[in-house]
């Protein structure tokens, strides 16, 4: 139905787009969709395909070379034969002309007497003949006056060969494309060879050129037969090469795949897994070496596990055993500390130092006990909805005295909204307190900044200082137990060296992230990310790990 006059035809709505492309890709076979993955992950596929491509290339090059050699040989043999035959025909024509030179015969009669025997022989031998006009007159075959085999198209004689015989010239030949105006028995259309040779007629004493046209149909069929034979032989050969390559690579790849599976099970903790040894070849010796390595690793891992177990038990036992004497010493220290007004200045100062070191010792003992609970898997969570903004405010209040002593400030950047996470408030507060005191200890009189952020899946808090920073590789080591970036640096905050390790364990207990960034001279930033709900796996953090000012300076 045509639209009325003046109406506009709406533009077609595009039906393409990413969705359509994705649907079309889904319709493809699994092998095509996952082809790149197979190529990357399968050594056997890469070897088989590479061998197949290289074999196809070699077979193609060798086949092309053989076909060219066969073609050149066939053509060379054919050219030699037709040139000899043409020269023989020309000699016969010259002899016939010499025998008729005394007869009373005009120019036309001699031309007929010259051409007709050759045409008769050509009809039986499969070639055509053309007699040109006299070359002294400068006429071309296309101008008329030539005598030739009936049905032959004179354009079959190339003009370049005609120009060759504009003057007296020896026998010459060239390739041509034989064309006919009607079918000629024994002379098919197609590629051919044309040979030119000259004779002189006694009647007018002019020179004429005889052109003999020979088809190459037999050679063309022979070449096609050879090409088909090579193609028919080449395809099964490539299939056989691919099959042999697959079988050979399978013998090599199968033990490698078994070794990979065993290595994966060893990495998963199944230390008793071993490779099956068959034969005495290189792969068998590799399997024996692999098994020996696995046995040595298993032995060393068990020794380390036993040593770690004894170490944890020692720390736990010593920590518990020290509780009783430290309580007694604490009671005595409190008595002496309370009696300072009645003591001389030196003894009073000693009582203060004793009280301070006892506080530090009790903190270390509490941290050791906490670490031993983590090692024993006895730590539990008392989870509830916690607002990280409230936690940050309390930590800022608790560390204000320490910050003032260090000549720095703790600046809290509140997000203006609640940052809620399901967590143990005591443990989260301990994590934030450890991060802030650590930042104060390394701030070098610069401000310590606290940032908070939240989204639908997680809440985060970041503590940023502008102090000495961290060297490359130290961001992963700061959470090791008793690790210190600079052993010569004094701990002014009275830390035990276990704060960040305990913070990391507390974070893992919540299923969260505790990460560190640092750069020499640009300070450091620690980021705590907690899931909004326990058991939810984290995928991202609402706060960047690298500070914005550090990215801008970089």
Nearest to residue 491, comparing CAs of 526, 440, 450?
440
Could you state, in order of their start, the residue ranges of all structural domains in the chain? 34-273, 280-379, 384-484+498-553
Axis crossing angle, helix 43-99 with helix 217-267, rounded to the nearest 10: 170
Alpha carbon distance 225, 411 (integer Å): 90
Do 172 and 160 meet the contact criterion of CB atoms below 8 Å apart? Answer: no
pLDDT of residue 248: 85
pTM of the model: 0.49
469 alpha-carbon distance from chain centroid: 37
* C-beta atoms surrounding 452 within 10 Å: 23
pLDDT digits (tens, 9 = 90+) for 159-204: 888 888 888 888 899 999 999 888 888 888 899 999 999 888 877 7
From first to last of its 554 residues, the chain has per-residue pLDDT tens of 344 444 333 444 444 444 555 555 455 455 455 556 666 777 778 888 888 889 889 988 998 999 999 999 999 999 999 999 999 988 888 888 777 665 556 677 778 888 888 888 888 888 999 988 888 777 788 778 788 888 888 889 998 888 888 888 888 999 999 998 888 888 888 999 999 998 888 777 788 889 999 999 898 999 999 888 888 888 888 888 888 888 888 887 888 888 888 888 888 878 788 888 877 777 788 888 888 888 888 888 888 878 777 776 776 677 677 777 878 888 888 888 888 888 888 888 888 888 888 877 777 777 777 777 776 676 778 889 999 999 999 999 999 988 998 889 999 999 989 999 999 999 999 999 999 998 998 888 889 999 999 999 999 999 999 988 888 878 888 888 777 665 555 445 445 677 888 889 889 989 999 999 998 888 999 999 999 999 889 999 999 999 887 765 55
Per the document, the length of the chain is: 554
Q: Return the bridge partners of 175, or none.
A: 193
Instruction: Tell me if the domain spanning 280-379 has CATH number 1.10.287.130.
Output: yes
pLDDT digits (tens, 9 = 90+) for 476-489: 888 887 776 655 55
H or E element in which residue 390 lies: helix 388-398
* Residue-wise DSSP of 528-545: EEEESSTTPPP---SS-S
The Cα diameter of the chain in Å comes to 170
Do 454 and 385 meet the contact criterion of CB atoms below 8 Å apart? Answer: no
Q: Return the bridge partners of 148, or none.
A: 130
Do 178 and 156 meet the contact criterion of CB atoms below 8 Å apart? Answer: yes
Do 291 and 277 meet the contact criterion of CB atoms below 8 Å apart? Answer: yes
Do 367 and 322 meet the contact criterion of CB atoms below 8 Å apart? Answer: no
What is the SS3 assignment for 155-201? HHCCHHHHHHCCCCCCCEEEEEEECECCCECCECCEEEEEEEEEEEC
Q: Return the bridge partners of 200, or none.
A: 207
**Rounded to the nearest 10 degrees, how much is the dihedral formed by the CA atoms of 21, 22, 27, 28?**
80
| Residues 6+ away with beta carbon under 8 Å from 124 | 186
Do 150 and 130 meet the contact criterion of CB atoms below 8 Å apart? Answer: no
pLDDT of residue 495: 56
Range list of β-strands (E), 404-443: 410-413, 420-423
CATH T-level assignment (fold) for domain 34-273: Beta-Lactamase (3.30.450)
pLDDT of residue 553: 56
The tokens describing 472, both together, are 């490359």
Alpha carbon distance 271, 283 (integer Å): 21
CATH T-level assignment (fold) for domain 384-484+498-553: Heat Shock Protein 90 (3.30.565)
Cβ-in-10-Å burial (0-12, 13-18, 19+) of 13 comes to exposed
The tokens describing 4, both together, are 């009325």
Do 155 and 179 meet the contact criterion of CB atoms below 8 Å apart? Answer: yes
Nearest to residue 549, comparing CAs of 476, 462, 455, 460?
462
H or E element in which residue 320 lies: helix 282-338
Alpha carbon distance 249, 280 (integer Å): 19
H or E element in which residue 258 lies: helix 217-267
Edge to edge, the sheet with strand 190-200 lists 147-148, 128-131, 207-215, 190-200, 172-178
């Amino acid at each position: 139905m045509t639209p009325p006059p003046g109406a506009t035809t709406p533009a077609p709505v595009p039906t393409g787009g990413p969705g359509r492309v994705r649907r079309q890709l889904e319709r493809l076979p699994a092998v095509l969709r996952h082809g790149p993955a197979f190529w990357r992950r399968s050594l056997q596929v890469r070897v088989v395909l590479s061998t197949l491509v290289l074999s196809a290339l070699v077979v193609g090059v060798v086949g092309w070379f053989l076909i060219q050699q066969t073609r050149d040989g066939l053509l060379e043999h054919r050219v030699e034969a037709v040139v000899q035959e043409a020269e023989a025909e020309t000699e016969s024509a010259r002899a016939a002309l010499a025998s008729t030179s005394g007869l009373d015969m005009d120019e036309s009669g001699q031309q007929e007497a010259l051409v007709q025997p050759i045409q008769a022989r050509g009809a039986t031998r499969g070639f055509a003949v053309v007699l040109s006009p006299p070359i002294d007159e400068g006429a071309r075959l296309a101008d008329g006056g030539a005598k030739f085999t009936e049905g032959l198209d004179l354009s079959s004689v190339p003009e370049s060969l005609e120009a060759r015989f504009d003057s007296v010239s020896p026998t010459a030949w060239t390739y041509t494309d034989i064309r006919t105006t009607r079918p000629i028995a024994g002379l098919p259309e197609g590629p051919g060879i044309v040979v030119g040779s000259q004779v002189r007629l006694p009647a007018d004493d002019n020179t004429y050129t005889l052109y003999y046209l020979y088809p190459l149909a037999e050679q063309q069929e022979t070449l096609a037969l050879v090409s088909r034979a090579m193609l028919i032989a080449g395809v099964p050969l490539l299939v056989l090469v691919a099959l042999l390559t697959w079988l050979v690579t399978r013998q090599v790849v199968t033990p490698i795949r078994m070794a990979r599976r065993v290595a994966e099970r060893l990495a998963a903790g199944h230390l008793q897994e071993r490779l099956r040894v068959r034969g005495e070849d290189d792969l068998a010796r590799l399997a024996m070496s692999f098994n020996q390595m696995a046995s040595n690793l298993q032995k060393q891992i068990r020794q380390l596990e036993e040593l770690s177990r004894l170490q944890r038990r020692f720390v736990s036992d010593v920590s518990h055993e020290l509780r009783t004497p430290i309580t007694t010493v604490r009671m005595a220290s409190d008595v002496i500390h309370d009696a300072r007004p009645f003591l001389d200045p030196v003894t009073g100062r000693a009582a203060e130092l004793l009280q301070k070191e006892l506080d530090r010792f009790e903190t270390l003992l509490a941290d050791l006990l906490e670490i031993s609970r983590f090692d024993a898997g006895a730590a539990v969570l008392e989870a509830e909805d916690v607002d990280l903004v409230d936690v940050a405010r309390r930590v800022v209040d608790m560390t204000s005295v320490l910050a003032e002593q260090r000549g720095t400030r703790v600046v809290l950047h509140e997000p203006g909204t609640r940052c809620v996470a399901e967590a143990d408030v005591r443990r989260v507060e301990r994590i934030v307190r450890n991060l802030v005191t650590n930042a104060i200890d390394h701030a070098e009189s610069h401000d310590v900044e606290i940032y908070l952020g939240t989204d639908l899946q997680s809440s985060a808090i970041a503590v940023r200082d502008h102090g000495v920073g961290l060297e490359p590789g130290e961001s992963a080591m700061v959470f090791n137990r008793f690790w210190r970036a600079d052993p010569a640096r004094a701990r002014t905050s009275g830390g035990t060296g276990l704060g960040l390790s305990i913070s990391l364990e507390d974070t893992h207990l919540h299923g969260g992230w505790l990460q560190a960034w640092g750069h020499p001279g640009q300070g450091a930033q620690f980021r705590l990310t907690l899931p909004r709900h326990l058991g939810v796996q984290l995928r991202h953090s609402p706060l960047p790990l690298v500070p914005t000012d550090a990215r801008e300076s970089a």
